[in-house]
Structure formats: structure tokens, C-alpha cells
Amino acid sequence: MSTGSIQARAEGWLGNNDVRLLVALALAIGGLYALFSVVLGFQLNGTVNTLRRVAFLSAIYAMLALALNLQWGYAGLFNLGAAGFMAIGVYTMGILTAPVTASPPGFGLPLPVAIVAAILVTGVVGGLAALPAIRLRADYLAIVTVAFSEIVRLTLRAPEFANTRIAGVAFGTGGATGLSLPPNPIRILFYTDPAATAPAPNALGAAMFSAVEPLGIEQTLVIGWAYVVVLCLCLGLLYWLMIRIGKSPFGRVLKSIREDQQVTQALGKDTRLFKIKTFALGCALMGLIAILWRLSGGYASPRMFKPIQTFYIFIALFIGGTGSPTGSIVGGALFASLLFEGPSFVRRVVAEYLQLSNAPDTLVGALAELGTLDITPLLAYSVQDVSISALRLMLLGIVLVYLMQRHPDGLLGHRKAIASSVDLSQQATREDDNE
């Protein structure tokens, strides 16, 4: 039996059990941050809040990576404007749900109606943006989409649209100040009047709050974890949807376009139409995920949708491996837990136990001391609050370079979904075994 066949059978027994892999990853990340909490001396409330934030960001970035994987991993569409389409979804929902008498005013629609409308608007805008851009090659498509994203962000930030009236209809984006969003919808499960300043708990809320009160866990954490559970359910639904799309005839056409567009056209497929549909669907999903993200905080601002946000999603996708739905979840969870949140916790651990002081004001000053083989100034500079963003970007760059050299396909890139309905490599392996 060949080495390749042994590896294929091992992956079939262990590697393809994606649920086991994802559960193990979640337990490992949870255990790591529970250890961080113990080391930093957190109380139970602080530990639970830490785990909630990590789980929340992991679910969000996993869903965003899945949506981007539909465009880039399946169809090969290099969309660098993800942040712009996320902003369109969030702001459309916010404007539609804002009361008519608010400042800036809105349309006062119910939240479910506004969410559906925002998804449709984001998908339509994505489809319209794809019409001229889809004719371009990957690098030019990236330039067009990132430019479109910046146009959207700067338009939302412009004071002319902060509180305006068009065709007799008053509405506004809030400008640079931002836009207030509806309160967390999950609060309706725990309060009789979720919109009230000091709402009274209903039967379920009273039971849950009284159960966790002796443990010192706040009510907001109960609501936060309930929202995380909803996000995980949405993640599971989106994961199932991506797998179904990948195995459908539509998905196989997308993957054939990714591999060789000219051959796909020669087979009679309208590749341009397939690209537009995929681009619009991916953008609509990004708008929905952004709505789920910002509803937890009840606020949106243009600075939340800078191009760096798109870069984060691509890093998450590259870590897990393009073309693999399971890889998208793995990459999103690893990015959010280790690369996005990790540096701040490492800083706190280092600052807690090394007692560093007299940090240099600049990175040049910190690096200058390395000539004397003294790394203390560099550590002191790195663990400052103002240095965390720079440290995060440096770490992202290091990880990206390592992946490009050692794992150019990502951690699960070897499991990229193929275009044909039959895996010819596995068929060849079975033929070798028979011989």
C-alpha cells in the first residue's frame, strides 16, 4: 500500500471529522484563555467575560471568512472591498430602524424587516458593483473593490449626509459621529421591556439572573453569552450552506471558473453571470454578518469599516486555507483568539509578572538597546497600551510571511473543494490499492 493511500485513509478516518476538529479547537482556545484569566487573577465574572469576548469574535470572523471564501476560495474573485459592503448592510439597517423623530431621523421600520431589506440592498449593490468590475483581472478587481469600499466609508462619514433630506425624505448617517442602532435583540428573551432604561426581567430572565447572581456573574454576561449562542447557531447554518453550495452544480461551476475560466466558457457556461451572482451573494452575507456584529453594541461608526478590516478577514481565510469551509472557521477562530486578542493578554501577563518600567518613547529607542544585549527596553515598549496595535500588525506580518513560505495553501488548504463531482485523486488511490 502506498504512502499516499495511507495518508488518504488516515484523513478519511480523522481529518474529515470536521465536527471533532472544531470542537477540539474551541476547547483548546477556551482552555488557553481560562489559563490567562487564572494567571491574571480574574474573578469568575472576569473569566466568563473573557471567554465570551473571544467566542464572540471567533464566531464573527469565522462567518466573515466563510462569506469571503465563497468569493475568493470558490470563484477566485479578489474582493478587497468587504469592509464597504459590511458598512452598507449595517447603515441600511440602522437608517431603516431609526425612529422618524430621532436625530438623525430614520424610517422607523421593525428590526426584522430592516435586516431583510439591508441584506437585499447589500446584495443588489454588490451585484451592481460587480457589473463593470467583473470584466477585470484579479489584481484590477482588487483595486476597484477597495476603492469602492473607501468611497462608501467616506460617504458615510461626510457631514453632508449626517442629517439630510432627499426627495422630501429625511434621513442621515450621523457623519463621523456615527449612528445609533437598535438595542441587542436578544434582550427580549430576558426582559419584559428591553428598550427601557431599567427593564424588569421576565420569568426566564428572573430565573437565569437569580441562578448566576450567587456566582458573581452580571446580567449583561448572561445576555452576552445568549447572543454568542445565537451567533454559533448562525455560524453552523452558514457552514452548512457553504458546504451545500460547494457540492451543488452551481458550486462546481464556480470552482471550475477558479481553475480555468476559458475551459468553463468553452463548456457553454456564462461565467460572467455566475461571477455576478456569487459576488452579490457574498456581499449580502457580509452585510448580514456585520449587522449581527454591530447589533451587540448598538452603535456603528465609519471608522469601524476601514480597509484594515478587510485585511483581517483575508488573514483569517489564509490561515485556515482558501476553498475549505472548515478551514475558514479554523482560520477565523485562530485569528480572533490568537492574533487579534492574544497580544493584549500577553501584554498584561508580561506587565504583571516582569514589572517593567521606564519604557522608551519610540521603537527606535527600544531597538537601540539591543546593541547591549538588553531586551528589557524592547519588552517595556511592546507592552504599552499604545503599542498593542503596532505589535498586532507586526505579528500578522510575521504569520503571513510564515504561511506563504511554509503553508501557502493554509492549514487546511490541502482539503480545497474540487470542481468535479468525483475526486479523481481518491479514485486513483483506490486503483493503486487494488493493484
The residue count of the chain comes to: 435
Distance, CA of 224 to CA of 228 (rounded, Å): 6
Total structural domains within the chain: 1
Show the cell assigned to 242. Answer: 457553504
Give residue 276's identity as a one-letter amino acid code. Answer: I
Q: Given a cut of 50, is residue 130 above it in pLDDT?
A: yes
DSSP code string of 207-232: HHHHHHGGGT--HHHHHHHHHHHHHH
In a domain, 420, yes or no: no
Supply the CATH number for residue 198's domain: 1.10.3470
> How far, in Å, are 72, 312, 338 from residue 66 at the CA level?
10, 13, 19
Distance, CA of 66 to CA of 237 (rounded, Å): 11
Q: What is the pLDDT of residue 12?
A: 46
Residue whose C-alpha cell reads 496595535 in the numeric block: 389
pLDDT confidence bin for 419, thresholds 50/70/90: low
Give residue 288's identity as a one-letter amino acid code. Answer: L
| DSSP-assigned beta bridge partners for residue 180 | 299
In a domain, 429, yes or no: no
Q: Given a cut of 80, is residue 8 above it in pLDDT?
A: no
Show the cell assigned to 72. Answer: 475568493
Q: Given a cut of 70, is residue 273 above it in pLDDT?
A: yes
How many beta carbons lie within 10 A of that of residue 308, not counting itself? 11
Task: Quote the domain boundaries for residue 99.
Answer: 18-415
In a domain, 432, yes or no: no
How many beta carbons lie within 10 A of that of residue 118, not counting itself? 25
What are the CB-based long-range contacts (under 8 Å, 24+) for 13-17?
15/415, 16/415
Q: What is the pLDDT of residue 412?
A: 85
Distance, CA of 392 to CA of 251 (rounded, Å): 35
> How far, in Å, are 18, 108, 135, 338 from residue 239 at the CA level?
11, 33, 29, 22
Distance, CA of 139 to CA of 83 (rounded, Å): 18
Q: For 58-67, what is the mean pLDDT? A: 97
Distance, CA of 381 to CA of 373 (rounded, Å): 16
Q: Residues 319-343: pLDDT tens digits?
A: 999 889 999 999 999 999 999 998 8
Q: What is the pLDDT of residue 164?
A: 87
Q: Given a cut of 90, is residue 353 above it in pLDDT?
A: no
In a domain, 169, yes or no: yes
Q: What is the pLDDT of residue 211?
A: 94
In a domain, 81, yes or no: yes
**φ/ψ of residue 134, rounded to 5:** -70, -15
Distance, CA of 346 to CA of 333 (rounded, Å): 18
In a domain, 3, yes or no: no
What average pLDDT does the structure give for the chain? 86
Q: What is the pLDDT of residue 290?
A: 97
Please give the distance of CA 425 from its chain centroid, rounded to a whole number. 32
Task: Decide the pairing of beta strands 169-171 and 164-166.
Answer: antiparallel
pLDDT confidence bin for 424, thresholds 50/70/90: very low
- Gap between the terminal Cα atoms of the chain: 9
pLDDT confidence bin for 423, thresholds 50/70/90: low
Q: Given a cut of 90, is residue 315 above it in pLDDT?
A: yes
In a domain, 101, yes or no: yes
Run of H or E residues at 377: helix 376-382
Distance, CA of 161 to CA of 30 (rounded, Å): 43
| Percent with pLDDT over 90 in the chain | 56
In a domain, 71, yes or no: yes
Distance, CA of 266 to CA of 257 (rounded, Å): 11
Show the cell assigned to 363. Answer: 521603537
CB neighbours of 137 closer than 8 A, spacing ≥ 6?
Answer: none
Closest CA to 88 of 126, 59, 57: 126
Q: Residues 77-99: pLDDT tens digits?
A: 889 999 999 999 999 999 999 99
